[in-house]
């Protein structure tokens, strides 16, 4: 009988950690001994893991040093099943290598389309001899990176070698097949009855504001600028957009947001997943303004279930699976429409009682369809087949 499962995250400083921790919590609910393993290519873990979930990391590096890092990580993979998050060389590739030596079955989880960031799989690597030598041998050569897009293309061709595949959107299911496994939420942990919103706002210095919250990592396709433009349009001084977490060393995007809307933004530091419910309880509205991009279509925004589980009014966009996830329990707008976001903000605060009732129904929908208990049912069937 299977007792121990190793989860592989590609980069615990910001690549797949959130999904890896979620899968770990679900497997713990099924009473498996779980350990999350992965490379750390940055300086710190991001996001921070739950306190009761064991996490083991090995310092990542570029080739050829990466080979020694991989050797060290392979020693830590002791589960009877390997659950690899994302079809990257640093997770799925390591799992396949371990399988060659031990014949352990692999479940591959795909929660994003990795190539959507790199020409949507259309790029082709056709270097000259000089460019190839440069990319391979120079210290900053592109092919020295373990997750270069060329290697991602190769990994997609190996997906059929996994014993099972899980995906979290219909887009990914159409692209890769597999079993649909949503980004669920522990609705016992994320339970609004456990928190006092006013006390939470006081704790985080938000008492004087009406709080719009984005509880995740800000990226260009997530439409944060549209919320800032909506706030400029409304020009109501007690409104604030609270951004929770984000990498300390990023790609400059958060700095761009601060330039655009410093007047409206409050930043809270990254916090462990099991402490997020208290922070989300401080929100009046959760905003998930995804833009109409392939990257967004491929994702199940975990911020949706943050808001749904905590019975918050949610403003989101008609992109990808979002309308299906929310049903009629949210406030949907067209993507890249600050004017519509402004209208929904006013509508919610004009009748906050109605908005709160809609939030309660969203929680009921989350419990029924998008809870970790729902995920345990799906995962247990997959493990039984393996």
195-241 pLDDT, tens digit per residue, is 999 999 999 999 999 999 999 888 888 999 999 999 999 999 999 99
Parent domain of 116:
4-184+373-385
- 67 and 169 belong to one structural domain: yes
To which residue do tokens 């014993």 refer?
163
Considering the domain architecture, whether residues 92 and 220 belong to the same structural domain is answered as no
pLDDT score of 267 more than 60: yes
**Same-domain check for residues 103 and 151:** yes
Same domain, 176 and 307: no
The total number of structural domains in the chain stands at 2
Give all strands of the β-sheet with 285-288 in edge-to-edge order: 265-268, 239-244, 210-214, 285-288, 314-317, 331-333
What was the pLDDT predicted at 218?
85
* Whether residue 44 has pLDDT greater than 80: yes
CB atoms within 10 A of CB 373: 16
204 and 231 in a single domain? The answer is yes
pLDDT band at 274, cuts 50/70/90?
confident
Q: Which residues lie closer than 8 Å to 103 by C-beta, 6 or more apart?
A: none
Q: Is residue 155 over pLDDT 90?
A: yes
Q: Are residues 163 and 309 in the same domain?
A: no
Cβ distance 286 to 359 under 8 Å? Answer: no
| Residues 198, 314 within the same domain | yes
pLDDT (0 to 100) of residue 250: 55
Report pLDDT digits (tens) over 333-381.
Answer: 999 999 999 999 999 999 999 999 999 999 999 999 999 999 999 999 9
Same domain? For 201 and 123 the reply is no
Reduced to 3 states, what is the DSSP secondary structure of residue 314? strand
CATH of the domain at 46: 3.40.50.2000
Residues 134-143, mean pLDDT to the nearest whole number:
93
Per DSSP, helices labelled H in 213-252 are 224-234
Residues 177 and 220 in one domain: no
Could you tell me if 198 and 180 lie in one domain? no
168 and 204 co-located in one domain: no
> Is residue 138 domain-shared with residue 196, that is, in the same domain?
no
């Amino acid at each position: 009988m299977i007792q121990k499962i190793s989860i592989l995250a590609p980069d615990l400083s910001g690549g797949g950690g959130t999904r890896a921790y979620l899968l770990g919590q679900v497997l713990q609910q099924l009473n498996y001994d779980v350990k999350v393993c992965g490379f750390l290519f940055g300086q710190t873990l991001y996001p921070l893991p739950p306190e009761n979930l064991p996490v083991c990391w090995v310092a990542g590096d570029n080739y050829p040093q990466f080979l020694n890092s991989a050797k060290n990580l392979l020693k830590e993979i002791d589960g009877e099943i390997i659950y690899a998050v994302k079809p990257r060389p640093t997770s799925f590739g390591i799992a396949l290598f371990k399988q060659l030596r031990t014949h352990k079955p692999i479940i591959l989880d795909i929660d994003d389309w990795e190539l959507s960031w790199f020409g949507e799989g259309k790029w082709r690597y056709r270097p000259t001899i000089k460019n190839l030598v440069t990319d391979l041998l120079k210290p900053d050569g592109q092919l020295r990176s373990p997750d270069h897009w060329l290697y991602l293309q190769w990994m997609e061709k190996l997906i059929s070698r996994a014993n099972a595949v899980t995906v979290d959107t219909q887009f990914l299911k159409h692209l890769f097949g597999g079993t649909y496994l949503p980004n669920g939420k522990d609705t016992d942990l994320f339970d609004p009855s456990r928190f006092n919103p006013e006390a939470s706002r006081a704790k985080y210095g938000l008492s004087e504001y009406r709080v719009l919250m984005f509880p995740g990592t800000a990226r260009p396709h997530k439409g944060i600028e549209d919320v800032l433009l909506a706030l400029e349009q409304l020009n109501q001084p007690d409104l604030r957009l609270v951004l929770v977490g984000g990498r300390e060393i990023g790609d400059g995007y958060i700095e761009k947001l601060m330039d655009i809307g410093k007047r409206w933004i409050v930043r809270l530091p990254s916090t462990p997943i099991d402490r997020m419910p208290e922070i989300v309880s401080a929100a009046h509205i959760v905003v998930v303004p995804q833009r109409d991009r392939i990257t967004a279509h491929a994702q199940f925004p975990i911020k949706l279930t943050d808001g749904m589980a905590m019975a918050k009014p949610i403003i989101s966009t008609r992109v990808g699976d979002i309308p299906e996830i929310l049903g009629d329990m949210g406030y949907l707008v067209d993507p890249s429409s600050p004017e519509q976001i402004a209208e929904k903000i006013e509508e919610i605060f004009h009748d906050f009682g109605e908005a709160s009732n809609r939030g309660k129904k969203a929680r009921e929908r989350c419990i029924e369809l998008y809870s970790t208990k729902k995920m345990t049912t799906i995962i247990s069937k997959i493990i039984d087949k393996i």
